[in-house]
Amino acid sequence: MEIAVTDYVQPDLSLERRIAAEHGLSLRESEHACTSEDELIAFVGATEAVIAQQAPFTRGVMEALPKLRIISLPQIGTDAVDLPAANDLGIWVANVPDANITEVASHAAAMALALARRLPVFDAAVRSGAWDYAAAGPLLRPAGMTVGALGLGRIGRLFAAYVAPCFGEVVAYDPYVDEGRWPAGVTRLHSLGALLERADILSLHMPLSDATANLINRTTLAQMKPGAILINVSRGPIVDLPALLEALDRGHLAYAGLDVLPTEPPRAGDPVLAHPRVWLSPHAAFYSEQSDTELRRRSVETIAAFVRNGQPDDIVVRGHR
């Protein structure tokens, strides 16, 4: 079976080619990332298996690809694929749900600690010639602060475990986690509003969907505690970025740590790039040498499992093609 690779962020596909060859498979890559539906349809054509990251697998695209049997995602996120449409059309969808959870959780925890202690502010102050312990303004003792997790899946749970020894209380809201799976040591809140009002630091750990797009907007930001910190390592469109910058400008929020943005990379001149109260990383929370290798390897191996056994590993949508 040939695998069509629609888009990727690594320098090349040498690892994927090697793994594919070990399983008797071959790869075909696009000359450039498929970003439009027409590009995607033309490139995939009659290929049965694809590896994709953010290529737009909409209902229209999948309907135009009657030979497509499986989409393998080398990541946790599935927002680029219309999952109900894949289910209707019988297309298998698989992801890698756990390869980089420690990286993402630790990235969020590092942002929480660094911003609680205002490390970016101190660094900038020292480099500008100011040697002043009060350069960042009044600081709160971490043991007296409450950290909130919006979403308590694999990553949210790890994040809670990482920050718990440093902060006073960890609270969370996730209506999809039943009581029997709720982790010890995390206070359960039963509404988004309660979480927004309680957290000194709020970290987002949820997939992008119609329900979560722009969930953090002017209304919900206004509910957050004055002086709070927002961290997003999930998906950029969950946060209404202009509303967030406005809340920071007004002083309602203190800082934001963002690993993801609605447009990636941001355009030159985007206000977020120059904002003094935003700490940015380039969608890097997922990354370590080990996680990168595992994500790429397993995205190929799940297609090999499909060829061998009739179904992939780590099924998101069970197909029938």
Residue 313's Cβ-side half-sphere holds a number of Cα atoms within 13 Å equal to 15
Q: How deeply is 46 buried, as exposed, middle or buried, from its count of CB atoms within 10 A (0-12, 13-18, 19+)? A: exposed
Q: How many angstroms separate the CA atoms of 279 and 114, rounded?
A: 10
Q: How far is CA 223 from CA 101, 164, 247, 291, 315, in A?
A: 29, 24, 11, 36, 37
Whether 152 and 101 have beta carbons less than 8 Å apart is answered as: no
Catalytic entry in 235, 275, 277, 296 = 235
Indicate if 22 belongs to the active site. Answer: no
On whether the CB atoms of residues 141 and 117 are closer than 8 A, the answer is no
d(CA 90, CA 75): 21
221-250 residues labelled b (16+ CB within 10 A) or e (exposed): beebbeebbbbbbbbbbbbbbebbbebbee
State the Cα–Cα distance between residues 175 and 178, nearest whole angstrom. Answer: 8
Instruction: Single out the catalytic residue among 283, 294, 297, 318.
Output: 283
Catalytic residue among 2, 22, 63, 264: 264
Q: In the block, which residue shows the tokens 């003094």? A: 276
Q: Do the beta carbons of residue 212 and residue 190 sit within 8 Å? A: no
Whole-angstrom CA distances from 198 to 191, 215, 255 are: 11, 17, 16
User: Annotated catalytic, 264?
Assistant: yes
Q: What is d(CA 175, CA 161) in angstroms, rounded to the nearest whole number?
A: 19
Q: Is 294 a catalytic residue?
A: no
Angle of helix 119-127 versus helix 101-116 axis, rounded to 10: 60
Encoded amino acid at 34, one letter = C
CA–chain centroid gap for 147, Å, is 19
Distance CA(222)–CA(253), nearest Å, equals 9
What amino acid positions are annotated as catalytic residues?
235, 264, 283
